[in-house]
Structure 1
Amino acid sequence: MASEDASDVSELQTGNNGLNLNIYTAGLIMSATNGFSPDNLLGKGGFGPVFKGTLGDGQEVAIKRLSSGSSQGLLEFKNDLILIAKLQDTNLVRLLGFCVQGEEKMLVYEYMPNKSLDTFIFDDSKMKLLNWDKRFSIIEGITQGLLYLHKYSRLRIIYRDLKLSNILLDENMNPKISDFGLAKIYTKRMKLDQIRNRLSAHSIFSEKSDVYSFGVMVLKVVSDNPLDRPTMSDVISVLNGEMQLALPKQPAFSTGIRIVETNIESKEVEIYSLNGLTMSTMDGR
Protein backbone atom coordinates (compact mmCIF):
# COMPACT_ATOMS: atom_id res chain seq x y z
CA MET A 1 0.00 0.00 0.00
CA ALA A 2 1.35 3.44 -0.91
CA SER A 3 2.27 5.83 1.89
CA GLU A 4 -0.57 8.22 0.92
CA ASP A 5 -3.06 5.35 1.05
CA ALA A 6 -1.66 4.25 4.40
CA SER A 7 -2.14 7.75 5.84
CA ASP A 8 -5.73 7.81 4.53
CA VAL A 9 -6.44 4.50 6.27
CA SER A 10 -4.84 5.80 9.46
CA GLU A 11 -6.99 8.95 9.35
CA LEU A 12 -10.14 6.89 8.87
CA GLN A 13 -9.31 4.49 11.67
CA THR A 14 -8.22 7.02 14.28
CA GLY A 15 -11.20 9.13 15.30
CA ASN A 16 -12.89 8.93 11.84
CA ASN A 17 -13.25 12.70 11.85
CA GLY A 18 -15.73 12.79 14.75
CA LEU A 19 -18.35 10.89 12.74
CA ASN A 20 -18.91 8.27 15.46
CA LEU A 21 -18.80 5.39 12.99
CA ASN A 22 -18.00 1.82 13.94
CA ILE A 23 -14.82 0.32 12.51
CA TYR A 24 -15.23 -3.34 11.50
CA THR A 25 -12.53 -5.86 10.65
CA ALA A 26 -12.65 -7.87 7.45
CA GLY A 27 -12.71 -11.06 9.54
CA LEU A 28 -15.80 -9.92 11.45
CA ILE A 29 -17.64 -9.07 8.23
CA MET A 30 -16.59 -12.36 6.64
CA SER A 31 -18.09 -14.16 9.61
CA ALA A 32 -21.26 -12.01 9.55
CA THR A 33 -21.92 -12.80 5.88
CA ASN A 34 -20.89 -16.49 6.00
CA GLY A 35 -17.91 -15.72 3.83
CA PHE A 36 -19.95 -13.52 1.45
CA SER A 37 -22.22 -16.47 0.74
CA PRO A 38 -24.47 -16.14 -2.37
CA ASP A 39 -27.38 -16.90 -0.01
CA ASN A 40 -26.64 -13.60 1.74
CA LEU A 41 -26.52 -11.55 -1.47
CA LEU A 42 -29.18 -8.82 -1.45
CA GLY A 43 -28.33 -7.20 -4.78
CA LYS A 44 -25.70 -5.43 -6.84
CA GLY A 45 -25.12 -1.77 -7.60
CA GLY A 46 -22.54 0.55 -9.11
CA PHE A 47 -20.47 0.38 -5.93
CA GLY A 48 -20.49 -3.42 -5.85
CA PRO A 49 -22.49 -6.29 -4.31
CA VAL A 50 -24.60 -5.84 -1.17
CA PHE A 51 -24.76 -8.64 1.39
CA LYS A 52 -26.92 -9.25 4.43
CA GLY A 53 -24.90 -9.85 7.59
CA THR A 54 -25.57 -10.73 11.21
CA LEU A 55 -23.14 -9.35 13.77
CA GLY A 56 -22.10 -11.18 16.93
CA ASP A 57 -24.76 -9.41 19.01
CA GLY A 58 -27.48 -10.51 16.58
CA GLN A 59 -27.85 -7.15 14.85
CA GLU A 60 -28.68 -7.50 11.15
CA VAL A 61 -26.83 -5.21 8.76
CA ALA A 62 -26.41 -4.60 5.02
CA ILE A 63 -22.82 -4.58 3.78
CA LYS A 64 -21.72 -2.90 0.55
CA ARG A 65 -18.47 -4.38 -0.70
CA LEU A 66 -16.45 -2.35 -3.19
CA SER A 67 -15.93 -4.42 -6.34
CA SER A 68 -12.32 -5.38 -7.05
CA GLY A 69 -12.69 -3.98 -10.58
CA SER A 70 -14.08 -0.64 -9.38
CA SER A 71 -12.17 2.48 -10.38
CA GLN A 72 -12.93 4.07 -7.03
CA GLY A 73 -9.67 4.55 -5.12
CA LEU A 74 -9.14 4.78 -1.39
CA LEU A 75 -9.16 8.58 -1.33
CA GLU A 76 -12.48 8.74 -3.21
CA PHE A 77 -13.87 6.01 -0.94
CA LYS A 78 -12.77 8.01 2.08
CA ASN A 79 -14.41 11.23 0.80
CA ASP A 80 -17.66 9.43 -0.03
CA LEU A 81 -17.66 7.76 3.38
CA ILE A 82 -17.23 11.06 5.22
CA LEU A 83 -19.92 12.78 3.14
CA ILE A 84 -22.45 9.94 3.48
CA ALA A 85 -21.84 9.79 7.23
CA LYS A 86 -22.82 13.46 7.53
CA LEU A 87 -26.23 12.71 6.04
CA GLN A 88 -28.09 11.44 9.09
CA ASP A 89 -31.87 11.70 8.83
CA THR A 90 -34.74 9.37 9.71
CA ASN A 91 -35.69 9.15 6.02
CA LEU A 92 -32.21 8.12 4.85
CA VAL A 93 -30.67 4.68 5.32
CA ARG A 94 -28.23 5.01 8.24
CA LEU A 95 -24.54 4.32 7.81
CA LEU A 96 -23.27 2.35 10.82
CA GLY A 97 -19.59 1.98 9.99
CA PHE A 98 -16.93 0.83 7.55
CA CYS A 99 -14.04 -1.53 6.93
CA VAL A 100 -10.78 -0.67 5.18
CA GLN A 101 -8.35 -3.56 5.37
CA GLY A 102 -5.92 -4.58 2.66
CA GLU A 103 -7.82 -4.49 -0.62
CA GLU A 104 -11.18 -4.64 1.13
CA LYS A 105 -13.30 -1.49 1.31
CA MET A 106 -16.80 -1.93 2.74
CA LEU A 107 -19.66 0.18 4.09
CA VAL A 108 -22.00 -1.18 6.77
CA TYR A 109 -25.60 0.09 6.81
CA GLU A 110 -28.69 -0.62 8.85
CA TYR A 111 -30.63 -3.56 7.39
CA MET A 112 -34.03 -2.87 5.84
CA PRO A 113 -36.07 -6.11 6.11
CA ASN A 114 -38.84 -5.17 3.65
CA LYS A 115 -36.33 -4.55 0.88
CA SER A 116 -37.08 -1.96 -1.82
CA LEU A 117 -40.35 -0.31 -2.75
CA ASP A 118 -40.34 -1.76 -6.28
CA THR A 119 -40.73 -5.29 -4.86
CA PHE A 120 -44.18 -4.20 -3.62
CA ILE A 121 -45.25 -1.99 -6.51
CA PHE A 122 -44.53 -4.60 -9.21
CA ASP A 123 -45.88 -7.61 -7.32
CA ASP A 124 -49.66 -8.07 -7.42
CA SER A 125 -49.83 -9.97 -4.12
CA LYS A 126 -47.61 -7.51 -2.23
CA MET A 127 -49.32 -4.53 -3.86
CA LYS A 128 -52.49 -5.42 -1.93
CA LEU A 129 -50.64 -4.76 1.33
CA LEU A 130 -50.32 -1.09 0.39
CA ASN A 131 -53.60 0.60 1.22
CA TRP A 132 -54.03 4.30 0.54
CA ASP A 133 -52.92 5.35 4.04
CA LYS A 134 -49.70 3.35 3.72
CA ARG A 135 -48.97 4.71 0.24
CA PHE A 136 -49.54 8.25 1.46
CA SER A 137 -47.20 7.62 4.40
CA ILE A 138 -44.49 6.27 2.07
CA ILE A 139 -44.81 9.26 -0.28
CA GLU A 140 -44.64 11.66 2.67
CA GLY A 141 -41.50 9.96 4.04
CA ILE A 142 -39.74 10.18 0.67
CA THR A 143 -40.74 13.85 0.45
CA GLN A 144 -39.20 14.58 3.85
CA GLY A 145 -36.00 12.77 2.91
CA LEU A 146 -35.66 14.68 -0.34
CA LEU A 147 -36.39 17.98 1.41
CA TYR A 148 -33.61 17.21 3.89
CA LEU A 149 -31.11 16.57 1.08
CA HIS A 150 -32.06 19.72 -0.81
CA LYS A 151 -32.47 22.14 2.08
CA TYR A 152 -31.65 20.99 5.60
CA SER A 153 -28.53 18.81 5.35
CA ARG A 154 -25.09 20.26 6.04
CA LEU A 155 -24.38 19.83 2.34
CA ARG A 156 -26.54 20.56 -0.66
CA ILE A 157 -27.35 17.22 -2.29
CA ILE A 158 -28.82 16.64 -5.75
CA TYR A 159 -29.71 12.97 -5.59
CA ARG A 160 -30.12 12.33 -9.37
CA ASP A 161 -31.26 8.71 -9.09
CA LEU A 162 -34.64 8.75 -7.35
CA LYS A 163 -36.50 5.55 -8.24
CA LEU A 164 -38.49 2.80 -6.57
CA SER A 165 -35.53 0.43 -6.24
CA ASN A 166 -33.58 3.04 -4.24
CA ILE A 167 -36.34 3.44 -1.65
CA LEU A 168 -35.90 0.85 1.09
CA LEU A 169 -38.57 -0.08 3.66
CA ASP A 170 -37.94 -0.86 7.31
CA GLU A 171 -39.87 -3.34 9.48
CA ASN A 172 -42.71 -0.80 9.85
CA MET A 173 -42.79 -0.01 6.12
CA ASN A 174 -41.22 3.41 6.68
CA PRO A 175 -39.33 4.53 3.54
CA LYS A 176 -35.66 5.46 3.51
CA ILE A 177 -33.63 6.79 0.59
CA SER A 178 -30.53 4.73 -0.14
CA ASP A 179 -27.62 4.44 -2.59
CA PHE A 180 -25.90 7.79 -3.07
CA GLY A 181 -23.62 6.54 -5.84
CA LEU A 182 -24.85 9.12 -8.35
CA ALA A 183 -25.56 11.96 -5.92
CA LYS A 184 -23.90 15.28 -6.58
CA ILE A 185 -22.81 17.23 -3.53
CA TYR A 186 -22.48 21.00 -3.44
CA THR A 187 -21.41 22.90 -0.34
CA LYS A 188 -23.57 25.79 0.75
CA ARG A 189 -20.51 28.11 0.46
CA MET A 190 -20.20 27.54 -3.29
CA LYS A 191 -21.34 30.41 -5.46
CA LEU A 192 -24.30 29.90 -7.75
CA ASP A 193 -22.12 30.23 -10.90
CA GLN A 194 -19.78 27.48 -9.62
CA ILE A 195 -22.73 25.18 -9.16
CA ARG A 196 -24.05 26.05 -12.62
CA ASN A 197 -20.63 25.46 -14.18
CA ARG A 198 -20.33 22.05 -12.54
CA LEU A 199 -23.81 21.10 -13.68
CA SER A 200 -23.25 22.17 -17.28
CA ALA A 201 -19.79 20.57 -17.42
CA HIS A 202 -21.23 17.10 -16.88
CA SER A 203 -24.96 17.08 -17.52
CA ILE A 204 -27.95 19.18 -16.63
CA PHE A 205 -29.12 18.17 -13.17
CA SER A 206 -30.68 20.28 -10.48
CA GLU A 207 -33.14 20.02 -7.63
CA LYS A 208 -35.86 20.18 -10.29
CA SER A 209 -34.49 16.95 -11.78
CA ASP A 210 -35.10 15.26 -8.44
CA VAL A 211 -38.59 16.74 -8.21
CA TYR A 212 -39.43 15.43 -11.70
CA SER A 213 -38.18 11.95 -10.77
CA PHE A 214 -40.19 12.17 -7.56
CA GLY A 215 -43.35 12.95 -9.57
CA VAL A 216 -42.81 9.94 -11.83
CA MET A 217 -42.30 7.73 -8.78
CA VAL A 218 -45.45 9.03 -7.06
CA LEU A 219 -47.50 8.13 -10.14
CA LYS A 220 -46.22 4.56 -9.89
CA VAL A 221 -46.98 4.39 -6.17
CA VAL A 222 -50.60 5.54 -6.53
CA SER A 223 -51.35 3.56 -9.70
CA ASP A 224 -53.21 0.26 -9.40
CA ASN A 225 -50.95 -1.33 -11.99
CA PRO A 226 -47.77 0.57 -12.90
CA LEU A 227 -46.99 -2.01 -15.60
CA ASP A 228 -50.26 -1.30 -17.39
CA ARG A 229 -48.88 1.32 -19.76
CA PRO A 230 -48.15 1.35 -23.52
CA THR A 231 -44.81 0.28 -24.99
CA MET A 232 -42.80 2.56 -27.28
CA SER A 233 -43.93 0.52 -30.31
CA ASP A 234 -47.54 1.16 -29.25
CA VAL A 235 -46.82 4.88 -28.95
CA ILE A 236 -45.32 4.99 -32.46
CA SER A 237 -48.32 3.09 -33.85
CA VAL A 238 -50.69 5.58 -32.22
CA LEU A 239 -48.72 8.55 -33.58
CA ASN A 240 -48.91 6.99 -37.05
CA GLY A 241 -52.66 6.46 -36.70
CA GLU A 242 -52.28 2.67 -36.90
CA MET A 243 -53.96 1.92 -33.58
CA GLN A 244 -55.80 3.50 -30.68
CA LEU A 245 -54.83 3.16 -27.06
CA ALA A 246 -57.35 1.65 -24.66
CA LEU A 247 -59.06 4.07 -22.32
CA PRO A 248 -57.19 4.45 -19.01
CA LYS A 249 -58.56 2.69 -15.95
CA GLN A 250 -60.35 4.55 -13.17
CA PRO A 251 -57.70 6.20 -10.95
CA ALA A 252 -57.26 5.12 -7.35
CA PHE A 253 -58.97 8.35 -6.22
CA SER A 254 -61.00 10.81 -8.23
CA THR A 255 -63.52 13.62 -7.94
CA GLY A 256 -66.19 14.73 -10.33
CA ILE A 257 -69.35 16.77 -10.80
CA ARG A 258 -72.73 15.18 -11.47
CA ILE A 259 -76.03 16.95 -12.23
CA VAL A 260 -78.79 15.69 -9.93
CA GLU A 261 -82.37 16.27 -11.05
CA THR A 262 -85.03 16.76 -8.34
CA ASN A 263 -88.70 17.70 -8.53
CA ILE A 264 -87.83 21.26 -7.64
CA GLU A 265 -84.49 22.03 -9.25
CA SER A 266 -81.28 20.71 -10.77
CA LYS A 267 -78.11 21.03 -8.77
CA GLU A 268 -74.47 20.03 -9.09
CA VAL A 269 -73.15 17.49 -6.57
CA GLU A 270 -69.44 16.75 -6.19
CA ILE A 271 -68.79 13.01 -6.00
CA TYR A 272 -65.75 11.06 -4.84
CA SER A 273 -64.46 7.58 -5.47
CA LEU A 274 -64.48 5.27 -2.45
CA ASN A 275 -60.96 4.23 -1.55
CA GLY A 276 -60.67 4.16 2.19
CA LEU A 277 -61.17 7.93 2.45
CA THR A 278 -63.85 9.85 4.31
CA MET A 279 -65.07 12.94 2.48
CA SER A 280 -67.79 15.45 3.28
CA THR A 281 -70.09 17.03 0.69
CA MET A 282 -70.68 20.69 1.41
CA ASP A 283 -74.09 22.05 0.33
CA GLY A 284 -75.38 25.54 0.93
CA ARG A 285 -78.34 25.98 3.24
Structure 2
Amino acid sequence: MTNTLTLGSRRVGYEVRQYFRQGDTVFFTFLFPLVMLTIFSTAFSETSFGVDDDGNNVSAAAFYLPAMLAAGVLLSGLQNMAVDIAMEKGDGTLKRLAGTPLPVFSYFLGKIGQVLVTGTLQAAAILLLAGVVFGVRLPDDPAAWFTFAWVFLLGVVTSAILGIALSGLPRSGKSATAVIIPITLVLQFISGVYLSFTQLPDWLQNVASVFPLKWMAQGMRAVFLPDGYKTLEQSGSWDLPGVALVTLLWLVVGLVAARFTFRWIRKDS
Protein backbone atom coordinates (compact mmCIF):
# COMPACT_ATOMS: atom_id res chain seq x y z
CA MET A 1 0.00 0.00 0.00
CA THR A 2 2.86 2.37 0.81
CA ASN A 3 4.39 1.71 -2.60
CA THR A 4 1.01 2.22 -4.29
CA LEU A 5 0.51 5.58 -2.55
CA THR A 6 4.07 6.65 -3.39
CA LEU A 7 3.58 5.84 -7.06
CA GLY A 8 0.21 7.62 -6.99
CA SER A 9 1.75 10.79 -5.54
CA ARG A 10 4.44 10.73 -8.23
CA ARG A 11 1.78 10.31 -10.89
CA VAL A 12 0.10 13.48 -9.61
CA GLY A 13 3.19 15.52 -10.47
CA TYR A 14 3.45 13.87 -13.86
CA GLU A 15 -0.24 14.42 -14.66
CA VAL A 16 -0.11 18.10 -13.62
CA ARG A 17 2.90 18.73 -15.86
CA GLN A 18 1.19 16.97 -18.76
CA TYR A 19 -1.97 19.01 -18.18
CA PHE A 20 -0.25 22.39 -18.44
CA ARG A 21 1.69 21.32 -21.54
CA GLN A 22 -1.55 20.97 -23.52
CA GLY A 23 -2.59 24.43 -24.63
CA ASP A 24 -6.10 23.53 -25.78
CA THR A 25 -6.83 21.68 -22.54
CA VAL A 26 -5.59 24.59 -20.45
CA PHE A 27 -7.82 27.02 -22.34
CA PHE A 28 -11.04 24.99 -22.47
CA THR A 29 -10.85 23.66 -18.90
CA PHE A 30 -8.57 25.93 -16.85
CA LEU A 31 -8.96 29.41 -18.38
CA PHE A 32 -12.48 29.09 -19.81
CA PRO A 33 -14.35 30.03 -16.57
CA LEU A 34 -12.03 33.03 -16.11
CA VAL A 35 -12.71 34.19 -19.67
CA MET A 36 -16.48 33.78 -19.22
CA LEU A 37 -16.43 35.63 -15.88
CA THR A 38 -14.55 38.48 -17.56
CA ILE A 39 -17.02 38.61 -20.45
CA PHE A 40 -20.13 38.59 -18.25
CA SER A 41 -18.66 41.07 -15.77
CA THR A 42 -17.74 43.49 -18.55
CA ALA A 43 -20.86 43.08 -20.69
CA PHE A 44 -23.24 43.57 -17.74
CA SER A 45 -21.12 46.03 -15.77
CA GLU A 46 -23.95 48.60 -15.76
CA THR A 47 -26.61 46.07 -14.76
CA SER A 48 -27.73 45.54 -11.18
CA PHE A 49 -28.45 41.98 -10.10
CA GLY A 50 -30.28 42.99 -6.93
CA VAL A 51 -29.00 44.32 -3.62
CA ASP A 52 -27.10 42.74 -0.76
CA ASP A 53 -27.99 42.82 2.94
CA ASP A 54 -26.48 46.32 3.26
CA GLY A 55 -28.46 47.73 0.35
CA ASN A 56 -25.52 47.76 -2.08
CA ASN A 57 -26.01 46.69 -5.68
CA VAL A 58 -24.83 43.18 -6.55
CA SER A 59 -22.56 43.43 -9.58
CA ALA A 60 -22.46 41.04 -12.51
CA ALA A 61 -19.07 39.75 -11.32
CA ALA A 62 -20.46 38.94 -7.87
CA PHE A 63 -23.56 37.30 -9.37
CA TYR A 64 -21.66 35.09 -11.82
CA LEU A 65 -18.77 34.20 -9.50
CA PRO A 66 -20.48 31.15 -7.89
CA ALA A 67 -21.59 29.84 -11.28
CA MET A 68 -18.09 30.10 -12.75
CA LEU A 69 -16.61 28.30 -9.73
CA ALA A 70 -19.12 25.45 -10.17
CA ALA A 71 -18.48 25.33 -13.92
CA GLY A 72 -14.74 25.20 -13.24
CA VAL A 73 -15.23 22.16 -11.03
CA LEU A 74 -17.19 20.40 -13.80
CA LEU A 75 -14.66 21.29 -16.50
CA SER A 76 -11.58 20.40 -14.46
CA GLY A 77 -13.12 17.15 -13.31
CA LEU A 78 -15.66 15.61 -15.65
CA GLN A 79 -14.70 17.14 -19.00
CA ASN A 80 -10.92 17.05 -18.59
CA MET A 81 -10.88 13.56 -17.08
CA ALA A 82 -13.25 12.01 -19.64
CA VAL A 83 -11.44 13.48 -22.65
CA ASP A 84 -7.95 12.79 -21.29
CA ILE A 85 -8.57 9.13 -20.48
CA ALA A 86 -10.44 8.53 -23.75
CA MET A 87 -7.49 9.94 -25.69
CA GLU A 88 -4.99 7.86 -23.69
CA LYS A 89 -7.09 4.82 -24.46
CA GLY A 90 -7.26 5.69 -28.13
CA ASP A 91 -3.53 6.32 -28.63
CA GLY A 92 -2.50 3.17 -26.78
CA THR A 93 -1.14 4.84 -23.61
CA LEU A 94 -3.40 2.80 -21.34
CA LYS A 95 -2.50 -0.39 -23.19
CA ARG A 96 1.19 0.27 -22.55
CA LEU A 97 0.54 1.17 -18.90
CA ALA A 98 -1.33 -2.12 -18.48
CA GLY A 99 1.94 -3.91 -19.22
CA THR A 100 3.87 -2.04 -16.51
CA PRO A 101 3.98 -2.64 -12.74
CA LEU A 102 1.95 0.55 -12.17
CA PRO A 103 -1.07 -0.37 -9.99
CA VAL A 104 -4.47 0.73 -11.25
CA PHE A 105 -5.09 2.50 -7.94
CA SER A 106 -1.91 4.57 -8.42
CA TYR A 107 -3.05 5.57 -11.89
CA PHE A 108 -6.38 6.81 -10.57
CA LEU A 109 -4.70 8.57 -7.64
CA GLY A 110 -2.59 10.45 -10.14
CA LYS A 111 -5.62 11.45 -12.22
CA ILE A 112 -7.79 12.54 -9.28
CA GLY A 113 -4.83 14.28 -7.64
CA GLN A 114 -4.23 16.22 -10.84
CA VAL A 115 -7.87 17.35 -10.85
CA LEU A 116 -7.59 18.47 -7.21
CA VAL A 117 -4.41 20.44 -7.89
CA THR A 118 -5.55 22.11 -11.12
CA GLY A 119 -9.07 22.66 -9.77
CA THR A 120 -7.68 24.38 -6.67
CA LEU A 121 -5.40 26.59 -8.76
CA GLN A 122 -8.31 27.43 -11.04
CA ALA A 123 -10.62 28.33 -8.14
CA ALA A 124 -7.90 30.53 -6.63
CA ALA A 125 -7.44 32.29 -9.98
CA ILE A 126 -11.22 32.88 -10.33
CA LEU A 127 -11.45 34.29 -6.80
CA LEU A 128 -8.40 36.48 -7.39
CA LEU A 129 -9.87 37.80 -10.65
CA ALA A 130 -13.23 38.54 -9.02
CA GLY A 131 -11.77 40.15 -5.90
CA VAL A 132 -8.86 42.14 -7.34
CA VAL A 133 -9.98 43.04 -10.87
CA PHE A 134 -13.75 43.34 -10.43
CA GLY A 135 -13.87 44.35 -6.77
CA VAL A 136 -16.14 41.56 -5.55
CA ARG A 137 -16.29 41.50 -1.77
CA LEU A 138 -15.48 37.95 -0.69
CA PRO A 139 -16.95 36.40 2.49
CA ASP A 140 -15.25 37.12 5.80
CA ASP A 141 -17.17 34.45 7.73
CA PRO A 142 -15.14 31.25 8.40
CA ALA A 143 -18.36 29.21 8.18
CA ALA A 144 -18.85 30.39 4.59
CA TRP A 145 -15.34 29.29 3.65
CA PHE A 146 -15.92 25.93 5.33
CA THR A 147 -19.02 25.49 3.16
CA PHE A 148 -17.00 26.46 0.11
CA ALA A 149 -14.30 23.91 1.00
CA TRP A 150 -16.61 20.90 1.31
CA VAL A 151 -18.76 21.84 -1.70
CA PHE A 152 -15.60 22.31 -3.77
CA LEU A 153 -13.84 19.13 -2.64
CA LEU A 154 -16.95 16.97 -2.94
CA GLY A 155 -17.71 18.46 -6.34
CA VAL A 156 -14.18 17.94 -7.64
CA VAL A 157 -14.00 14.30 -6.56
CA THR A 158 -17.49 13.54 -7.86
CA SER A 159 -16.79 15.22 -11.19
CA ALA A 160 -13.49 13.35 -11.55
CA ILE A 161 -15.13 9.98 -10.87
CA LEU A 162 -17.93 10.74 -13.32
CA GLY A 163 -15.29 11.74 -15.87
CA ILE A 164 -13.63 8.35 -15.47
CA ALA A 165 -16.99 6.66 -16.03
CA LEU A 166 -17.78 8.79 -19.10
CA SER A 167 -14.34 8.14 -20.64
CA GLY A 168 -15.70 4.88 -22.00
CA LEU A 169 -18.44 6.66 -23.96
CA PRO A 170 -16.40 7.99 -26.96
CA ARG A 171 -15.65 5.32 -29.54
CA SER A 172 -12.18 6.75 -30.13
CA GLY A 173 -9.79 9.33 -28.76
CA LYS A 174 -10.41 11.58 -31.78
CA SER A 175 -14.13 11.76 -31.04
CA ALA A 176 -13.70 12.39 -27.29
CA THR A 177 -14.09 16.18 -27.39
CA ALA A 178 -17.03 15.95 -29.81
CA VAL A 179 -18.84 13.60 -27.41
CA ILE A 180 -17.95 15.04 -24.00
CA ILE A 181 -17.95 18.83 -24.54
CA PRO A 182 -21.63 19.01 -25.68
CA ILE A 183 -22.63 17.13 -22.52
CA THR A 184 -20.87 19.63 -20.27
CA LEU A 185 -22.22 22.59 -22.25
CA VAL A 186 -25.82 21.42 -21.96
CA LEU A 187 -25.40 20.83 -18.23
CA GLN A 188 -24.03 24.34 -17.78
CA PHE A 189 -26.92 25.98 -19.65
CA ILE A 190 -29.65 24.11 -17.76
CA SER A 191 -27.99 24.31 -14.32
CA GLY A 192 -27.97 28.07 -13.83
CA VAL A 193 -24.38 28.76 -14.90
CA TYR A 194 -24.94 31.07 -17.88
CA LEU A 195 -28.65 31.71 -17.31
CA SER A 196 -30.36 32.49 -14.04
CA PHE A 197 -31.84 29.23 -12.80
CA THR A 198 -35.21 30.81 -11.98
CA GLN A 199 -35.57 32.00 -15.59
CA LEU A 200 -35.78 28.43 -16.81
CA PRO A 201 -39.13 26.65 -17.18
CA ASP A 202 -40.18 24.55 -14.19
CA TRP A 203 -39.83 21.28 -16.12
CA LEU A 204 -36.26 22.18 -17.13
CA GLN A 205 -35.43 23.10 -13.53
CA ASN A 206 -36.68 19.67 -12.51
CA VAL A 207 -34.49 18.00 -15.14
CA ALA A 208 -31.43 20.00 -14.04
CA SER A 209 -32.08 19.06 -10.41
CA VAL A 210 -31.35 15.44 -11.27
CA PHE A 211 -27.73 16.28 -12.13
CA PRO A 212 -24.96 17.37 -9.75
CA LEU A 213 -23.93 20.66 -11.41
CA LYS A 214 -27.16 22.40 -10.38
CA TRP A 215 -26.47 21.46 -6.77
CA MET A 216 -22.80 22.44 -6.89
CA ALA A 217 -23.77 25.84 -8.29
CA GLN A 218 -26.41 26.19 -5.56
CA GLY A 219 -23.82 25.38 -2.90
CA MET A 220 -21.49 28.02 -4.32
CA ARG A 221 -24.31 30.59 -4.37
CA ALA A 222 -24.91 29.87 -0.69
CA VAL A 223 -21.32 30.94 -0.02
CA PHE A 224 -20.95 34.03 -2.20
CA LEU A 225 -24.43 35.54 -2.67
CA PRO A 226 -26.42 37.44 -0.02
CA ASP A 227 -28.66 35.25 2.11
CA GLY A 228 -31.79 36.85 0.68
CA TYR A 229 -31.07 35.25 -2.69
CA LYS A 230 -31.99 31.83 -1.33
CA THR A 231 -35.65 32.65 -1.95
CA LEU A 232 -34.86 32.50 -5.68
CA GLU A 233 -33.82 28.86 -5.45
CA GLN A 234 -36.26 26.17 -6.50
CA SER A 235 -36.86 25.11 -2.88
CA GLY A 236 -36.73 28.64 -1.48
CA SER A 237 -33.60 27.82 0.53
CA TRP A 238 -29.93 26.98 -0.01
CA ASP A 239 -30.66 23.38 1.03
CA LEU A 240 -27.03 22.50 1.76
CA PRO A 241 -27.96 19.00 3.03
CA GLY A 242 -29.55 18.41 -0.38
CA VAL A 243 -26.37 19.65 -2.07
CA ALA A 244 -24.32 17.13 -0.11
CA LEU A 245 -26.80 14.26 -0.58
CA VAL A 246 -27.24 14.60 -4.36
CA THR A 247 -23.51 15.10 -4.98
CA LEU A 248 -22.68 12.05 -2.85
CA LEU A 249 -25.26 9.99 -4.70
CA TRP A 250 -23.62 10.92 -8.01
CA LEU A 251 -20.24 10.01 -6.53
CA VAL A 252 -21.57 6.51 -5.81
CA VAL A 253 -23.15 6.32 -9.28
CA GLY A 254 -19.84 7.34 -10.82
CA LEU A 255 -17.90 4.71 -8.85
CA VAL A 256 -20.29 1.96 -9.91
CA ALA A 257 -20.35 3.11 -13.54
CA ALA A 258 -16.57 3.42 -13.70
CA ARG A 259 -16.27 -0.16 -12.47
CA PHE A 260 -18.14 -1.35 -15.58
CA THR A 261 -17.00 1.19 -18.20
CA PHE A 262 -13.26 1.64 -17.56
CA ARG A 263 -10.89 -0.69 -19.37
CA TRP A 264 -7.17 -0.47 -20.00
CA ILE A 265 -7.70 -1.76 -23.53
CA ARG A 266 -10.63 -1.06 -25.86
CA LYS A 267 -12.83 -4.02 -26.77
CA ASP A 268 -12.11 -3.53 -30.46
CA SER A 269 -8.32 -3.30 -30.02
Name the structure where helix makes up a greater proportion of residues: 2
Query: Greater relative contact order (Cα 8 A, min sep 6): structure 1 or 2?
Result: 2
Name the structure where strand makes up a greater proportion of residues: 1
Larger radius of gyration: 1
Q: Same fold (TM over 0.5)?
A: no
TM-score by length of 2: 0.26
